Structure 1
Amino acid sequence: ANEPRSGDRTGQLVRGWIAEMAAYIKSIDSNHMVTTGEEGFDLTTAGYNSGAYNNQSWLFDGTNGISFTQNTADPNIDFAQIHLYPEYWNFSPSIGSTWIADHTQIARQLRKPLLLGEFGHAVNSAAVYDEWLRTFDTENGGGALVWQLMCGSCYAMRDQFGVQYPPNTSVSDVLQRAAVTANAKKGTPSDNVPPGSRTGITIGSVSVSPETVDPGQGKDGASTITVTSGTGSGNGPAFVVTSTGASPSAVAQGGTINIRTSVRSSQMTSAIVDLEIYDASGTKVGQNACRVSFTSSGKTKNCRWSYVVPSSLASGLYTVKVGVFSSDWSVLYVWLNRAGVLTVQ
Structure 2
Amino acid sequence: MLSEKSRPVIEATLPLVGSRIGEITADFYNRLFTAHPELLDGLFSRSNQRSGEQQKALAGSIAAFATHLVNNPGTLPEKVLSRIAHKHASLGIVEEQYGVVYEHLFAAIAADLADVITPEIAEAWTEVYWLMADALIKLEKDLYAAQANTRMWMPWRVVSKEAAGKDAMTFTLEPADETPITEAKPGQYVSVKVTLPDGLRQVRQYSLSGDAGTSRIFTTKLNDGGEVSTALHTAVEPGDILEISNPYGEITLKDEAGPVVLASAGIGCTPTASILRSLADTGTDRDVVVLHAERSMDSWALSGQMTADAARIDADLQLWLETPQAGAKEGFMSLREVDLPADASLYLCGPLPFMKKIRDEAIEAGIPATRIHYEVFGPDVWLAN
Using the size of structure 2 for normalisation, the TM-score is: 0.22
- Which structure is higher in RCO with an 8 Å CA cutoff and minimum separation 6? 2
Tell me which protein shows more strand as a share of its residues: 1
Using the size of structure 1 for normalisation, the TM-score is: 0.23
